[in-house]
Amino acid sequence: MSTQKVIIHTDGGSRGNPGPGAAGYTIDDAGGRRLAACGFFLGKVTNNYAEYTAVGKALRHAQRIGARHVELYSDSNLLVQQINGHYKVKSDAIRPLYQRCMEILNSFESWRIIHVPREQNTEADKLANLAMDAQHDIDQTPGALSGKTVRLGILLSGSGRTMLNLHHEIAAGRLNAKIVRVISSRSTVVGVQRAREIGLEPVVIRRKDFADVESFSTKLAQELDTAGVDLVVQAGWLCLWHIPPHFENRVMNIHPALLPAFGGQGMWGHHVHEAVLKTGCKISGCTVHFCTNEYDAGPIIIQRACEVCDDDTPDTLADRVFEQECIAYPQAIALFAQGRLKVQGNIVKRLL
């Protein structure tokens, strides 16, 4: 997509200054067609940091869609005056954001930034507040759920929390997908009951009922094929299976650490979090990746990070990492549904 001129509205704010903050923006073409409507949760920031982040993200988006002329509106008089050169940027924290915004602005053929009252900037304000309320990024761009409805096959071995998160995202209209098959490797886990509670009858396929991994894998693939699954989503799945060629780059997994660290055989659940704490890491997080027939070695799609606190236990760290998992997995599936993931070797590139 490319467009000659875009009209951008941005807003950012924090509750506490500093406090939980977010940025929001809309982008329209010269004819008024909505090209983007996005909100981004930023964590603990100041109002001014959020305002500049909104401008920077909006300008980068405009670059990506090929805009040549930019007209930008903000209700932050300070930001507008600084970008127009009337006020100096005195804050050391804001200066790099300001410099980056100026670099991007000067890459366009023409640009101008205009101050508007808050009542003329309500859509960007709403997007920032929605992201603050949700504490994760949002995308309300028309057609953001474009592409076919991707048919998901869920593989689980435990509580089914990840399955429930995906179900909620689908029900809320934020993920263009449908769960068409749930397979559990165990008959008595909570995930089996949770699947039934949301109207999905799980199929139990236990590894111990098969002579070898090949026959086990064949049965799994047959069940997934019968259901017409587009994408296999491993959601706390603990069984090795051999992925057949026709499912290459169609099986995702989420790992509770920042791969390639803390991955491999035996590294799952609390084993991962215990290892992170033992090594004294200050950052952990989660990784969504395509699966290969080697543990945790497939191409990385998305990673999200979180802080490791000095008083963390494996349980408290697991809770914080799972918050990031609830964001990352739907995002990865949405990119797949939109046809925006291209695998080159062991690298995943996201297409615009």
Residue % of the chain over a pLDDT of 70: 97
182, 269: one domain: yes
Task: Find the catalytic residue in 255, 270, 271, 289.
Answer: 255
Q: Residue 334 maps to which CATH number? A: 3.40.50.170
pLDDT above 90 (res 64): no
Domain boundary among 114, 139, 164: 139
Of 120, 139, 158, the residue at which a domain comes to its end is 139
**What's the pLDDT at 5?**
93
* One domain, residues 242 and 126: no
Which of 135, 97, 113, 117 lies closest to 6, judged by CA? 113
285 phi/psi in degrees, rounded to 5: 155, -150
Q: Say if residue 130 is in the same domain as residue 199.
A: no
At 75 the pLDDT is: 97
Q: Which of 74, 107, 139 is the last residue of a domain?
A: 139
Expressed as residue numbers, the domain containing 36 is 5-139
**Confidence class of residue 309 from pLDDT cuts 50, 70 and 90?**
very high
- State whether 323 and 218 are in the same domain: yes
Whole-number average pLDDT of the chain: 93
Q: What percent of the chain has pLDDT over 90?
A: 83
- Structural domain count of the chain: 2
Mean local confidence (pLDDT), 156-170: 94
Per-residue pLDDT tens over the stretch 117-153? 999 999 999 999 999 998 888 888 866 555 678 999 9
Q: Where are the beta strands (DSSP E) in the chain?
A: 5-14, 19-29, 34-45, 69-74, 110-115, 138-139, 150-156, 177-184, 203-204, 231-234, 251-255, 283-290, 300-307, 341-344, 347-350
User: Any idea what the CATH number is for the domain that residue 84 is in?
Assistant: 3.30.420.10
pLDDT by residue (tens digit) across 189-228?
Answer: 999 999 999 999 999 999 999 999 999 999 999 999 999 9
Is residue 287 scored above 90 in pLDDT? yes
Q: What is the pLDDT of residue 137?
A: 84
Position 84 scores a pLDDT of: 97
Residues 313, 280 share a domain: yes
Q: Say which residues have a Cβ less than 8 Å from residue 112's Cβ, sequence separation at least 6.
A: 70, 71, 72
Do 201 and 195 contact (CB within 8 A), yes or no? yes
Say whether 255 is catalytic.
yes
- What mean pLDDT comes out for the span 69-77? 97
Whole-angstrom CA distances from 213 to 27, 220, 227, 232, 292 are 51, 10, 21, 18, 15
Regarding pTM above 0.75, the answer is no
Q: Are residues 135 and 155 in the same domain?
A: no
Give the per-residue pLDDT at 1.
44
* CA distances, 319 to each of 56, 124, 271, 307, 327 (Å): 31, 31, 14, 12, 13
- Is residue 144, in this structure, part of any structural domain at all? no
| Residues 249 and 126 both lie in one domain | no
Same domain, 293 and 162: yes
* Contact indicator for 181, 253 with CB cutoff of 8 Å: no
Question: Is 55 in the same domain as 83?
Answer: yes
Q: Is the pLDDT of residue 115 over 60?
A: yes
Residues 118 and 167 placed together within one structural domain of the fold: no
Across 174-201, average pLDDT: 95
40 and 165: one domain?
Answer: no
CA angle 67/71/75 to nearest 5° reads: 135
